[in-house]
Amino acid sequence: MTFLQPALLIALPLAALPVIIHLIHLYRRRQVKWAAMMFLRLAQKMNKGLSRLRQVLILAARVAAVAAILFVITRPLAGGWLGLTGGAPDTVMVLVDRSASMEQMNQATGISKRLAGLRNVAKAINDAVGTRSHLVVLDSATAKPQPIEKADALLDLPQTEATETAADIPALMQGALDYITTNKTGRTDVWLLSDLQQSDWDASGGRWEALRSAFATVQGVRFHLLAYPQPAQDDLAVTVERVTRRETSEKAELLLDLRIIRHTDNPQPIELPLRFAINGASTTTKVEMKESQLVMQAHAIPIDKAAKRGWGRIELPSDACAANNVFHFVFDEAPVLRSVIVSDDDAESGPLTAALSAPADPTRKYAATVLSPKRAAEIPWDDTALIIWHAQLPKPDDAIARQLQDHAAAGRSIIFLPPESPDAAEIFGLHWDRWESSPADKPQTVEWWRNDTGLLANTRDGAALPIGSVEIMRRCGIVGEAIPLARVAGRQTLLMRAASERTGGVYFLGTLPGPGASSLARDGVVMFAMLHRALNDGARSLGKAQQRFASATSLGSDPSKWKSADPKSAEIVSASLPLHAGVFASGDKLTALNRPLGEDDPQRLTTTTLNELFAGLDFRILTDNLEDGRSLTNEIWRTFLVAMALALIIEALLCMPERRSNTQPVTV
């Protein structure tokens, strides 16, 4: 509880006035001894205990009445989740989840989760601390702290506007920790606004333990989580998985592989109008969706034969989540799917070359090249989608280390394999430990892997990869903070993704495909799927027409070079282009930006998981929903007014004289 007029609490000692008046009244009485009162005094002693209790209760009721009226005039606020009973903190940090899923809205009011949360937080800060605390905003899209003068500015800042990006909540928490420790903010309240999307929180990643330990050493930090976990009902989401231009002597057409997902508990057959816009020309096709998912392979859309390259989008009917109703794409001549293997070991590079040269898509060209570590500088960086690095890790100040980092930052993929003699060199926050061998008759197996996303995700039809049958004879440890994707017995990590890179995939695989280390090459299916998924992810940034996910770095270091190619997104400010879905052009290059696919996942974190993530920290959770229009803080002076009235009634009842007996005296 806090107060809008806290200065008036200085009058709270006035509640002791009834006690003071009572004591003064006692000392003003004159005592006169009278022998005839002896028998009356003896009778009074019999009722002395009850009389004294009655006087104490009367005084307590009077004190409560005065205290209640004092609380009424100080205008108390209820909102225990704020944790502000100790007064205003020195600093208030507001962490804002600006991911695409936060734009789910109440269709009756048009208010999104993001906007509803910002309004509630702004009002709560105004009511609770006003301008007595230093206010700082940190958003998930830019990750840059922004001081503000007053809480109302939360509703107008560019840093709190809608985006089609994903949120990295652990990185957001790390940004808050860095700001607190660097600026020595004193007593700090950290308010986090989120919809608890599982893909944004990365609860199974390895960063939360380090965050908890670091925050536990900082004094005076309290967390307040305002959560909007309610998923949208009957939500539809569309994605385009592949676009191919095909031309014959008679016609030209685009072949689209697209997927429509419906989040509902009881799917019923519905008819959907799909709107396709190709280079500005629109067509509409009606399809029937019978289950919770509709997959359309090689859906043909006729185009002009003169249109060798271009852009397009597919649109679903409007619903509560507008962000996932549209998917943008571009098309051009498909680039070669090129991979480079850096290795001196033919026994290991041979299976990798064979897998990467085998065409997973018959319409694409594949090329795999093997280079020795001494020739790593010859890698054709601009044309390579995937690099497999089976050599000693480069030193941080080596030129090749900077080139690998730039390669990942451009959206390409890298898979690091352990060398025979690992050293202490580190890259992307990870380094190799030592090799461990399993008994010859007891090879290790994969006991856990992440099957919802990444290199080991289930297939399109939902079937799991046969990862559990892979045998691991030798495994090299991986040291550092990253996202685990697979573990063997004893929770030892086998495959990790570097947590510092969100644009490209940087992976560390703790074994080799050769027969002396694992059965990856022998079984083939898992290795083939892993390699080609990494290759396809890296190929998104190849060629002059590229598909990328919206993020702060999706258009490079200078977004001003890009202009909107689609009139639908022409009003976006150039500085925020990378954060929004659309089609953008720079010279002869076309890039289609879309929301990350994890934003379509309806799964949310549970309260149990949140308690585990914040274990040992001072935190509070307030769950809200778009249909609830109540404020986070409410004035409760009426409650104290009722309490004052009850205290006066009790005091009056206790002061009433005893009823006289109607019994007549008996005469003898």
Residue 108: how many other CB atoms lie within 10 Å:
8
Phi, psi for residue 132 in degrees, rounded to 5:
-80, -15
The angle at the Cα of 145, spanning 144 to 150, to the nearest 5 degrees, equals 140
| The pLDDT of residue 86 | 47
Amino acid at 665: P
Enter the pTM of the model.
0.71
Question: How much is the pLDDT for 629?
Answer: 54
Residue with the bigger pLDDT between 573 and 307: it is 307
pLDDT of residue 640 exceeding 80: no
User: Which residues are paired to 508 by β-bridges?
Assistant: 416, 496
Higher pLDDT, 56 or 78: 56
Q: In the numeric block, which tokens belong to residue 83?
A: 């944790």
Residue 501 confidence (pLDDT): 43
Q: Which two tokens stand for residue 282?
A: 């629109």
Q: Is 128 helix (H, G, I), strand (E, B) or coil?
A: helix
Q: How far is CA 140 from CA 167, 281, 556, 602, in A?
A: 5, 35, 18, 19
At 33, the pLDDT band (50, 70, 90 cuts) reads low
In this prediction, residue 665 carries a pLDDT of 54
Residue 503, pLDDT > 60, answer: no
Bridging pattern class, strands 506-509 and 413-417: parallel
The Cα–Cα gap between 303 and 330 comes to 13
The sign one gets for the Cα dihedral 100, 104, 107, 109 is negative
Say which amino acid occupies 397.
D
pLDDT-derived band at 132, boundaries 50, 70, 90: confident
273-296 as b/e: b if 16+ CB within 10 A: ebebbbeeeeeeeeeebeeeebee
Note the pLDDT tens digit of each residue in 409-458. Answer: 888 999 999 999 999 899 998 999 999 998 877 899 999 999 888 899 88
**Given pLDDT bands bounded at 50, 70 and 90, which one contains residue 659?**
low
CB 232 within 8 A of CB 263: yes
Query: Considering the chain, what is the average pLDDT of its residues?
Result: 85
Choose from 49-53, 264-268, 336-340, 569-573 the range with maximum mean pLDDT: 336-340
Q: How far is CA 391 from the centre of its chain?
A: 35
Strand segments (E) across 151-220: 188-194
pLDDT of 9 higher than 80: no
Could you give the CA distance from residue 449 to residue 466 in angstroms, rounded to a whole number?
11
Tokens of 523: 């079984």
Phi first, then psi: give them for residue 547, nearest 5 degrees. Answer: -105, 125
Question: What pLDDT, on the 0 to 100 scale, is given for residue 554?
Answer: 86
Short-list 21, 123, 45, CA closest to 82: 123
Using the predicted structure, report yes or no on whether residue 543 has a pLDDT greater than 60: yes
CA dihedral 577, 578, 579, 582 (to 10 degrees): 70
Q: Which amino acid is at 62?
A: R
Inform me whether the pLDDT recorded for 400 exceeds 70. Answer: yes
- Return the SS3 of 105: strand
Q: Tens digit of pLDDT for each residue in 97-115?
A: 999 999 999 888 889 999 9
pLDDT(303) > 80: yes
- Does position 531 have pLDDT exceeding 90, yes or no? yes
3-state secondary structure of 71: helix
Torsion angle of alpha carbons 318, 324, 326, 327, nearest 10°? -160
Q: Is-contact 432 511, C-beta < 8 A?
A: no
Higher pLDDT, 516 or 59: 516
- Residue 630 predicted with pLDDT over 60: no
The pLDDT tens digits of the residues spanning 245-279 come to 888 888 899 999 999 999 888 888 999 999 999 99
Residue with tokens 């022409």: 570
Comparing 71 with 599, which gets the higher pLDDT? 599
Q: What is the pLDDT of residue 75?
A: 60
List, edge to edge, every strand of the sheet that includes 506-509.
366-371, 337-342, 386-390, 413-417, 506-509, 492-498, 482-488, 444-449, 471-472
Confidence of residue 371 (pLDDT cuts 50, 70, 90): very high
pLDDT score of 311 more than 80 = yes
d(CA 622, CA 629): 14
Q: Is 617 exposed, middle or buried (0-12, 13-18, 19+ CB in 10 A)?
A: middle
DSSP-assigned beta bridge partners for residue 286: 273
Strands 134-139 and 91-96: parallel
List of residues 6+ apart from 492 with CB closer than 8 A:
475, 477
Taking alpha carbons only, the member of 180, 23, 168 closest to residue 617 is: 180
Cα–Cα distance between 69 and 142 in angstroms, integer?
48
The residue-averaged pLDDT of 53-76 equals: 76
Q: What is the mean pLDDT of residues 64-86?
A: 61
- Provide the percentage of residues in the chain whose pLDDT is more than 90: 50
The domains found in the chain, sorted by start residue, are 2-29+39-78+637-655 (no CATH), 88-231+603-632 (3.40.50.410), 235-332+590-600 (2.60.40.10), 337-539 (3.40.50.880)
What's the pLDDT score for residue 642? 78
CA atoms within a 13 Å half-sphere pointing along the CA-CB vector of 388: 31
Q: What three-state secondary structure class fits 547?
A: strand
For the chain, the distance separating the N- and C-terminal CA atoms, rounded to the nearest angstrom, is 69
DSSP string, 621-642: EEE--TT----SSEE-HHHHHH
CA 259-263-268 angle, 5° bins: 90
Q: How confident is the model at residue 497 (pLDDT cuts 50, 70, 90)?
A: very high
- Give residue 399's pLDDT band: very low, low, confident or very high (50, 70, 90): very high
Distance, in Å, from the CA atom of 347 to the CA atom of 345, rounded to the nearest integer, reads 5
pLDDT tens per residue, range 160-214: 999 999 999 999 999 999 999 999 999 999 999 999 999 899 888 778 999 999 9
Which two structure tokens, joined as six digits, stand for 100?
């695409």
The residues with which 571 forms a beta bridge, in sequence order, are none
pLDDT category, 78, cuts 50, 70, 90? low
Spell out where 248-365 has E strands. 252-263, 270-278, 281-289, 293-303, 310-315, 326-331, 337-342
Q: Which range, of 44-53, 72-81, 229-238, averages the lowest pLDDT?
A: 72-81
* Percent of the chain residues past pLDDT 70, beyond the cut: 88
Residue 272 three-state SS: strand
- 472: pLDDT strictly greater than 80: yes
Tens digits of residue pLDDT in 513-529: 988 899 999 888 999 99
d(CA 150, CA 159): 15
Residues 124, 633 contacting (CB under 8 angstroms): yes
Handedness of CA 3, 4, 6, 12 (dihedral sign): negative
